[in-house]
Structure 1
Amino acid sequence: MSAEKTDKTEFERSPSHFGDRITADGSGGWPVEPGRYRLVVSRACPWANRSMIARRLLGLESALSLAVADPIQDERSWRFTLDPDGRDPVLGIRYLAEAYAAREPGYTGGVSVPAVVDVPSGKLVTNDYLRLPAELATEWAGLHREGAPDLYPAPLRAEIEEVSDAVFRDVNNGVYMCGFARRQATYDRAFTALFDRLDALSERLATRRYLVGDSVTVADIALFVTLVRFDAVYHGHFKCNRSKLTEMPVLWAYARDLFQTPGFGDTVDFDHVKRHYYVVHAEVNPSGIVPAGPDLSGWTAPHGREALGGSPFGDGTPPGPPPQDERVPPLG
């Protein structure tokens, strides 16, 4: 999750401070190498979830290892208390902040996920949450599994970027604008933009299975990570309550379609999601009470979206099951 800050009236998402690129040719000093880097995530975080989905769909599990932080942060932010002795077993650190400090001594800014860390040096390479999925799809192509989908096809990139920009501004970021608003007018603007955009996306997806083209792209990944958290968190916690996802028929079917696609739902841990938002955001939920709902059983219900045509993996194939140590609990 990117560093966030609020003042008395507006929510502002801080840009990624470390934007280095890991490239196939190593031109920026960070070459793609299997096993060299570690992707640090929180299963609670929608921005990290994007990279987790892309990594799964592309079959990069053995090339880019995964570290999962505790969904509950403390004053030093993301921590590895889920691991034995409270240390990441590969990086040997207790806090992601240690990799930030190794990269920039004295760094005092936000500590965010996803973060890619260089294992040999222990230094953070990048926390560019917006660009990382597309770069996994392009720069890491030499390490993709056989049958991996093309998540960022060259002929569709302009349209993908146009759709993704709107999704980011009004939906991904829009729910935070609602949740952290400190003035009614600020909230009202964000609320209106959010649901206007969701209505437009519903109209777009009423006649097509995916946002751009006939298969899954990074644009679908971007929208999914907010939709999958919508009823569990954003509808109540962030006051995005005109409609639940389950009350928006097209988007609800679309989200179920993606959730049931290998690589999507098998990255989602609703327990981590709810505990993070309701416990960490004390200014929004001072009691720290984590709600028992919603009912999650609907996520596995038939969606009927196959009738619209298209195929999630294009000419490719689905990924295999997640590694044993990366599996999330079944829906309960």
Structure 2
Amino acid sequence: MPEHGGNLRDAKRLYGRDDWIDLSAGLNPAWYPAPALTDNAWHRLPEPDPALVDAACAYYGAPHMLAVAGTQAAIQALPRLRPPSRVVIAAPSYAEHAHHWALHGHAARQVPYAELADAVDGCEVMVVCNPNNPTGAAVPRAQLLDWADRLARRGGWLVVDEAFADTDGAHSVADRAGHAGLIVLRSVGKFFGLAGVRLGFVAARPDLLAALDELLGPWQVSGPAQQVGKAALLDQAWQRATRATLQRSGQRLHDLLAAHGIEGSGTALFQWWPEARPEQLHDHMARRGIWVRLFRTGPRGIRLGLPPDEAAWTRLATALNEWTRESK
């Protein structure tokens, strides 16, 4: 199983401490305040709520969507809906994509973002995180739509993972996901900071969504998750204020790293950079109670999410100061 952030139990087991600042997952640290649930939310079987899908379609601008138990559920299921295919996964990328396409008989290979345009005509499926996790690289919307059309003409798919697109949706293609061959994944875990509810959405043509729904089975999304997700997707005032706050915080993180000689890239929710000594930096931070995301391979680097409060910003700045001094 690929490594992931958010594994604080591992941090505690390896380093002790109870005062962890978790910057490893790239989630909004000021998560959406979940509303009170209806009295029977934990009792009833979770029938799919059409109002949740309507709210998602309005928020993401997609013509058709399916609610799933986090986009991870779709990432694991989509490879099972195709015969063996040649699959290109943009790299570096969220590791679960390559892992699951390779598990189900597909000829999967990873291709750097700069080489995707040359690879599109040599595959039946292309998978692109846009913006990319972990680097923040983005493929222009017009380029994605061209690739989707070319793949669709030969029965192929373009799968676009837009899990981090909420803070800047300029390149989103969710509104075109009613076209053949285009599949878009969206998540409430990142921007809304609600990773624990396990709720995501797939935008695609109705026939593909029906096949995916059949494969995933009944009661995919819990009743409480549906209620919380619907409230978050409908709360436009919170969304506007949060988007502005995250843009400021993301720039602050970028500037903090730059002040220590680190040129990061990413989104409003995280910064990533190739690091010559990633294991040592990861250990340095962990010994100070700061859990960051270590990328050991392809390329080796570090990703940081946003600190949750001023005390955490101060601890991060202090740890970076100490790392800079020790590295000289």
Q: Quick check: which has more Rg, 1 or 2?
A: 2
TM-score w.r.t. the length of structure 2 is: 0.29
TM-score w.r.t. the length of structure 1 is: 0.28
Higher RCO structure, 1 or 2 (CA under 8 Å, sep 6+):
2
